[in-house]
């Protein structure tokens, strides 16, 4: 009865095997390391999709398992992106500045270098001084720590305030929307120190790396696959034992869990913070593949899409979140990328770029009404064995 | 016998309506007590107050040898201090198995990190099996509790309370909706439980209360109307007027 975690959860192994196989196939078909059937830009699309799957399983942990409909997790995703983006932009600019200054007669002073970098980065917002939050941008190690620390800290403070006051249900969802809206509006200001609406750009270039994008894109693809695999393993483990029992109990009847002696608020805070950290990591892997991050990325709608993906895939089963996210985001990039053929109806031409959102909204409504378990529910139907107890 | 729980002068109002009115109530170690009273007498509200769900406007609630004040403590802290509660509606975690329900209730460290790294030992599994046996669900360990019958859910909830090993058990209408045979079994479980801890049972069914064979407290309009043996209180004219004589 006391079997190992993997033995009790065969679906985890199946998922990891499929992910490994997928990674291998993409690598073999890629331009960087394989036969070149898959373009570099599509490798990036796939890599970004893996990052979205990672934040989606985090969303499933907080929503599907714990019952907290957070509509703000893209704030943490975006913060992760900004944290790594700062180092990427700083370091690359520094190399460029040092390079161009070294053509002079005298070796450049550190002040000249700093001023040069500042001009390059903050020229667009009419400034050249480094804001305080860039103090550690020259350290990869510190910025990587911030990828986890900054979203985690924001979640900890926000969650502590919200859960302690027993804000639940739709009020909590609205509060998380307000949080991500607030962050977005703040970042839009030039005074935020993160280049306002320009955001951070050129993130696809790794400082000091001469390898072509076809190769770099695969590095990030692999890193994303690894992060998704580890994240899946971690979350599957978290929900498998007694901790999983308690958070599912909180989802189904939090008062009852309290009277069992569990501090519901603490559990919620732990899950909220953990998922925020995972979202931060996902964002830090996503934006170097996207190349650019700006405040629009953390607009409230982004977090709503996240909930839609998880709902379409099916809540409370991690593979459901992965399937829903991969399916919807790939179909979405097909429709909005102009690849989908327009449908001429004579009197009107259906342009998918405009109509895709309508289609997505409609399928969300249909799933909510007719298939509350989403795509994952179909897999449950196939899995269901005839019941022996009904003799 | 020592006093385990002492409620004195407690008043609770909801929007000006006094659901509990200057209530005083005591229960001793390992005592079985029945609480009866008409609908709206404040029986459930009394349990809400003791377990920290509702905060009283005035009064004291003292707990245990050290006379710890329960007012202002969180529900979780009160539960950890040794007070278990069964709700009027059976509330078990329907999507989880009988085993998972009992394991969650088992008396262990409730801190989130300890729970995260918790690995049930063989003796934990045995304890869960024994409990399931005790409540007649020994064969149903791996069944999802949502599939259980109404009576079985009530027992599972009582089993979860026993798993918590509380010193005081508050049980709200355990026999509601049960068949006569199920009621008998429930009585047996409660009487057995009261041998080692205090048990307070709220019940409307007089036959059920008679079988518990214990001291009875009659609540009415948020205060104690009468107290004593069942025969004693049923002869009380006030009790006949407000409750039995309807
Ligand atoms: N949260 C609340 N807000 C307002 N009124 C309440 C609240 N809780 C209880 N009451 C009122 O307090 C009174 C006592 O309710 P309580 O549920 O304690 O009665 P009870 O003795 O358990 O009755 P029953 O036998 O029907 O279960 C009732 O009139 C009820 O309407
Ligand atoms: Mg009641």
Confidence of residue A1 (pLDDT cuts 50, 70, 90): very low
Q: What is the percentage of chain B residues whose pLDDT exceeds 90?
A: 74
- For A251-277, what is the mean pLDDT? 96
pLDDT of residue A336: 80
Task: List chain A domain ranges.
Answer: 5-299
Q: Would you say residue A388 has pLDDT above 60?
A: no
Q: Would you say residue A347 has pLDDT above 90?
A: no
Whether B82 lines ligand 1, by a CB cut-off of 6 Å, is: no
Question: Which atom of ligand 1 lies closest to the CA of B43?
Answer: 21
Residue (of A119, A90, A301) closest to A200 by Cα position = A90
- For B204-230, what is the mean pLDDT? 91
Query: What is the pTM (predicted TM-score) of this model?
Result: 0.92
Q: Looking at chain B, which residue has its C-alpha nearest residue A389?
A: B143
Whether B118 lines ligand 1, by a CB cut-off of 6 Å, is: no
Question: Ligand 1: which residue has its CA nearest to atom 28?
Answer: B40
Of A119-133, A237-251, A312-326, A339-353, the one with minimum mean pLDDT is A339-353
Whether B53 lines ligand 1, by a CB cut-off of 6 Å, is: no
Structure tokens at A270: 């732990």
pLDDT of residue A3: 65
Buried b (16+ CB within 10 A) or exposed e, A101-116: eeeeeeebeeeeebbb
Write the pLDDT tens digit of every residue in A131-186: 999 999 999 999 999 999 999 999 999 999 999 999 999 999 999 999 999 999 99
Write the pLDDT tens digit of every residue in A75-111: 999 999 999 999 999 999 999 999 888 887 788 888 8
Q: What is the rounded average pLDDT for all residues in chain A?
A: 92
pLDDT of residue A384: 63
- For B18-25, what is the mean pLDDT? 93
Confidence of residue A390 (pLDDT cuts 50, 70, 90): very low
Question: Ligand 1: which residue has its CA nearest to atom 9?
Answer: B45
Whether B166 lines ligand 1, by a CB cut-off of 6 Å, is: no
Question: Which atom of ligand 1 lies closest to the CA of B48?
Answer: 18
Q: B41 CA to middle of ligand 1, Å?
A: 7
Please give, rounded to a whole number of angstroms, the shortest distance from the CA of A6 to a CA of chain B: 14
Q: Which domains does chain B have, with CATH numbers?
A: 3-244 (3.40.50.300)
pLDDT of residue A84: 98
Category of A106 on φ-ψ map: left (φ > 0), alpha (ψ -120 to 50) or beta? beta
Q: Would you say residue B96 has pLDDT above 60?
A: yes
Q: Looking at chain B, which residue has its C-alpha nearest residue A237?
A: B116
Q: Which of B104, B125, B143 sits opposite A249 (nearest CB)?
A: B104
Whether B19 lines ligand 1, by a CB cut-off of 6 Å, is: yes
Q: What is the rounded average pLDDT for all residues in chain B?
A: 92
Write the pLDDT tens digit of every residue in B123-156: 999 999 999 999 999 999 999 999 999 889 989 9
Which residues place a Cβ less than 5 A from the ion ligand 2? B 44
- For B216-239, what is the mean pLDDT? 91
Write the pLDDT tens digit of every residue in A314-334: 999 999 999 999 999 888 888
Instruction: Please give the span between the terminal C-alpha atoms of chain B, in angstroms, as a whole number.
Output: 36
pLDDT of residue B103: 96
Q: Would you say residue B246 has pLDDT above 90?
A: no
A chain contacts of residue B85, beta-carbon cutoff 8 Å: 259
pLDDT of residue A357: 83
- Complex prediction ipTM: 0.90
- For B209-231, what is the mean pLDDT? 92
Q: Supply angle C-alpha A33, A38, A41, rounded to 5.
A: 95
A chain contacts of residue B103, beta-carbon cutoff 8 Å: 242, 245
A chain contacts of residue B104, beta-carbon cutoff 8 Å: 242, 245-246, 249, 260
Ligand at shortest distance from the CA of B42: 1
Q: Would you say residue A4 has pLDDT above 80?
A: no
Contacts of B91 (CB under 8 A, 6+ apart): A253, A256, B157
Cα torsion angle, A143, A147, A149, A150, sign: positive
Write the pLDDT tens digit of every residue in B61-78: 999 888 899 999 999 999
Category of B197 on φ-ψ map: left (φ > 0), alpha (ψ -120 to 50) or beta? beta
Q: B219 CA to middle of ligand 1, Å?
A: 12
Q: Looking at chain A, which residue has its C-alpha nearest residue B140?
A: A389
Residue (of B39, B40, B59) closest to B49 by Cα position = B59
Q: Would you say residue B219 has pLDDT above 70?
A: yes
Ligand at shortest distance from the CA of B53: 1
Confidence of residue B87 (pLDDT cuts 50, 70, 90): confident
Contacts of A178 (CB under 8 A, 6+ apart): none
pLDDT of residue A391: 35
- For A58-76, what is the mean pLDDT? 97
- For B161-172, what is the mean pLDDT? 94
Q: A93 CA to middle of ligand 2, Å?
A: 70
CA distance B133 to B60: 39
Beta-carbon separation of B96 and A248 below 8 A: yes
């Amino acid at each position: 009865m006391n079997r190992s975690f993997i033995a009790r959860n065969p679906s985890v192994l199946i998922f990891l095997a499929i992910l490994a196989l997928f990674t291998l196939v993409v690598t073999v078909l890629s331009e960087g390391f394989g036969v070149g059937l898959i373009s570099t830009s599509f490798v990036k699309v796939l890599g970004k999709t893996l990052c979205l799957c990672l934040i989606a399983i985090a969303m499933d942990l907080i929503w599907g398992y714990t019952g907290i409909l957070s509509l703000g997790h893209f704030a943490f995703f975006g913060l992760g992106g900004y944290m790594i983006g700062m180092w990427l932009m700083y370091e690359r600019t520094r190399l460029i500045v040092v390079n161009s200054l070294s053509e002079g007669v005298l070796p450049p002073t550190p002040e000249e270098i700093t001023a040069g970098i500042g001009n390059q980065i903050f020229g667009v917002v009419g400034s050249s001084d480094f804001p305080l939050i860039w103090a550690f941008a020259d350290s990869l190690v510190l910025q990587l720590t911030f990828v986890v620390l900054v979203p985690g800290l924001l979640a900890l403070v926000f969650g502590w305030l919200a859960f302690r006051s027993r804000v639940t249900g739709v009020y909590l969802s609205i509060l998380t929307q307000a949080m991500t809206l607030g962050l977005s509006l703040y970042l839009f200001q030039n005074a935020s120190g993160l280049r306002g609406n320009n955001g951070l750009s050129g993130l696809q270039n790794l400082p000091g790396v001469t390898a072509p994008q076809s190769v770099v894109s695969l590095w990030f693809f692999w890193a994303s696959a690894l992060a998704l695999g580890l994240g899946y393993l971690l979350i599957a483990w978290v929900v498998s034992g007694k901790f999983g029992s308690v958070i599912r109990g909180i989802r189904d009847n939090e008062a009852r869990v309290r009277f069992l002696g569990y501090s519901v608020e603490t559990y919620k805070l732990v899950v909220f913070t953990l998922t925020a950290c995972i979202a931060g990591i996902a964002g830090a892997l996503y934006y170097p593949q996207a190349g650019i991050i700006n405040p629009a990325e953390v607009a409230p709608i982004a977090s709503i899409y996240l909930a839609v993906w998880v709902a379409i895939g099916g809540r409370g089963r991690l593979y459901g979140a992965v399937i829903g996210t991969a399916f919807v985001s790939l179909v979405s990039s097909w429709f909005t990328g102009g690849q989908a053929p327009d449908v001429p109806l004579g009197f009107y031409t259906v342009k998918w770029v405009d109509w895709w959102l309508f289609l997505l909204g409609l399928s969300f409504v249909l799933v909510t009404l007719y298939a509350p378990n989403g795509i994952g529910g179909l897999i449950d139907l196939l899995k269901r064995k005839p019941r022996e107890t009904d003799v | 016998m020592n006093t385990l729980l002492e409620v004195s002068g407690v008043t609770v109002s909801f929007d000006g309506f006094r659901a509990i009115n200057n209530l005083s109530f005591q229960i001793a170690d390992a005592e079985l007590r029945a609480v009866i009273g008409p609908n709206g007498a404040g029986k459930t509200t009394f349990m809400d107050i003791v377990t920290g769900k509702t905060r009283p406007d005035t009064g004291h609630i003292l707990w245990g040898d050290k006379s710890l004040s329960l007012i202002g403590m969180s529900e979780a802290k009160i539960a950890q201090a040794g007070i278990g509660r069964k709700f009027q509606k059976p509330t078990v975690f329907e999507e989880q198995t009988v085993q998972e329900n009992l394991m969650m209730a088992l008396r262990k460290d409730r801190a989130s990190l300890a729970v995260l790294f918790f690995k049930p030992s063989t003796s934990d599994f045995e304890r869960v099996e024994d409990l399931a046996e005790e409540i007649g669900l020994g064969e149903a360990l791996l069944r999802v509790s949502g599939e259980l019958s109404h009576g079985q859910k009530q027992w599972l909830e009582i089993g979860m309370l026993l798993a918590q090993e509380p010193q005081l058990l508050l049980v709200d209408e355990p026999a509601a909706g049960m068949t006569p045979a199920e009621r008998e079994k429930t009585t047996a479980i409660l009487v057995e439980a009261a041998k080692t801890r205090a048990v307070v049972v709220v019940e409307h069914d007089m036959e059920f209360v008679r079988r518990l064979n214990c001291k009875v407290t009659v609540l009415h309009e948020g205060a104690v109307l009468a107290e004593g043996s069942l025969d004693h209180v049923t002869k009380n004219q006030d009790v006949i007027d407000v409750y039995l004589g309807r």
